[in-house]
A and B are shown apart, each in its own frame.
Chain A
Amino acid sequence: MAVEEGLKIELGKQGVFVTTIQEIYNWGRRSSIWPMQFGLACCAIEMIATTMARYDLARFGAEVFRPSPRQADLMIISGTVTKKMAPQVVRLYNQMAEPRYVIAMGACAISGGPFKQGYNVLKGIDRYIPVDVHIPGCPPRPEALIQAFMTLQKKIDGQHLTGEGRPRFLDAEAQGEFAVPEFGEHDLEPASNRGVWPLPAVIRG
């Protein structure tokens, strides 16, 4: 059984470090989130700036941008996802090893942004893949991306190894494959993945 928070702090003051496997595991995961080297549009410029010396993403253990989805933990959807590009994005997400996370960066990635009315732009990548953190902005400043990183780290810190609320990759029953959309006659087919993008419940007064 885990040690109570108060007791842990009290022991820490005496120089006794108490932890759990779960805490060490989460600490390890959140301290080495390797993003995928994957830029879609102008937000990618801000993402690149975040990794450089001035904003220094290395402070969060996330400076290692991997060119292969097999070696990456985090997909930063940095920019407009056109319908032409959406299948590739979803396929790359499927090819990442678990545990994998997604940050939807910028107005386009979360909703279509200024191109929302365009026939060729996907209105948010969360129609096809589960997004952990959304950050608005056009483009978001590097500070906003760092904020998203810290939010993701907090989320990882709160995850449980066992039990009902455990994350998808620890659950043998949860789905591991997310359907890759195909080009239809007028739109992507399917237009969204109902597993991650459920229809909003209609509440009639």
Chain B
Amino acid sequence: MAPNPYFSLALLFAAALGFGLAPLGLAWLWGKAFSPAKPNAVKNAIYECGLESAGDAWMQFRSAYYLYAIIFLIFDVEAVFLLPFAVAFTGLGAGACGAMAVFVLLLVEGLAWAWAKGVLTWA
């Protein structure tokens, strides 16, 4: 019976796995045998910049930031879609042009709304 052609691959995989796991296992055994773990509150702190962390990470952000999200969509993400549209423009059918027009008009509507609301004036 001929050996499976993938047998050498399996062998290599096992060797690679062992190569990675053996040092981890040895380090774990070494830690068990010699160096005792001494955790404490300061050591287990989340931040490691030297300062104490203030407050909770699950804080609420101001909802006013959604304006920036909308303007970002209008000016940045729209350009990403406009570029392939412009490149393929001559070969596009009426349906594709209509879909794109709806997409652009939706964003233009957002821009008009933001403009009317005075978001674009940075004082």
A68 partner, pick from B35, B40, B42, B48, beta carbons under 8 A: B48
By size class, the interface of chain A is 20 to 34
Known: A177-B40, A180-B42. A92 touches B34 (CB 8 A): no
Docked-complex contact B38 and A91, CB < 8 angstroms: no
What are the residues of chain A within 8 A of B40 when measuring CB–CB? Answer: 94, 176-177
Please name the residue on chain B nearest to A172 by beta carbon.
Answer: B36
Q: Which residues of A contact B (CB under 8 A)?
A: 68-70, 87-89, 91-92, 94-95, 98-99, 161-162, 169-172, 175-177, 180
B118 to chain A, nearest CB (A): 42
Interface residues on B, range: 10 to 19
Is B42's CB under 8 angstroms from A177's CB? yes
Q: From B51, which residue of chain A is reached at the shortest CB distance?
A: A88
The 8 A-B pairs of least Cβ separation, nearest first, read A176-B38, A88-B50, A172-B36, A94-B42, A177-B40, A92-B50, A68-B48, A69-B48
Question: In the complex, which residues of chain B have a beta carbon less than 8 angstroms from the beta carbon of A170?
Answer: 34-36
B43 within 8 Å of A (CB atoms):
yes
Measured between beta carbons, the chain B residues less than 8 angstroms from A175 are 38
**Residues of B contacting A69 with CB < 8 Å?**
48
